[in-house]
Structure 1
């Protein structure tokens, strides 16, 4: 793919960030869905921005529009190693976390600080998100150092 117009990339990412679904659709209809996989100067995609800011309809639109090629973007990491899941978990956007999990996101990806989405959610006090992620992901499965994330399991209230 040739380099796409940086101004349009910026507009597409801004639409996703600010929840402007109609404007985003207009750009994609006018230009190309290829703009949905492009990154800004920090490595963020439209999916990163929509996930970080809780724009569920845009997350669903991006995944639906990309179809089979959504897997290419769903695990994309920005310059800090964060995926869309990291951002949605960090900000407690539970429904988006669930949508990303449903579409095959890898919840075990670590960012450059060595943190998974589970640890980001925990550090930011989003216990419901932590509990959900722990119910669908074994944080020790395939982990070279299982002790590292043992403290992430929610304490039993029994």
Structure 2
């Protein structure tokens, strides 16, 4: 088994450094594949990443991030109890939209009200995407801003558009 991770997911989006851990018998193959498939980060960035990991600072930052993500998921559960929550601790959630909502008009109306959500089509690999939106829980600066945004999303879900939606 080969484990692959990235500090851009674990610590901060701009920290574009990844790591792979493999059985010793596969190390040379994994290293060759990494060199062939990707550009390498600067030596300085790789050094900072290694120091953060070795010192324990990366672990502490990740633990703090996990605590904050759990708090934000708890807030989301208060406002959106019917949303699809995964077992994973992720900084976003997916909301399957009720009829007659469609994802693109929902996202546009949310944006008009000051909340940015992403329609599922932004992540689709085919032409067919579910009528769902992705809500980022990490984008708001604080819990108050998150609560305001989730209240807007909740209200939109409760009050479908009058006269249907444009398809």
Query: So what's the TM-score if we normalise by structure 2?
Result: 0.25
More helix by share: 1
Q: Between Structure 1 and Structure 2, whose CA radius of gyration is higher? A: 2
**Structure (1 or 2) with the greater strand fraction:** 2
| TM-score relative to the length of structure 1 | 0.26
Query: RCO (CA 8 Å, sep 6+): is it higher in 1 or 2?
Result: 2
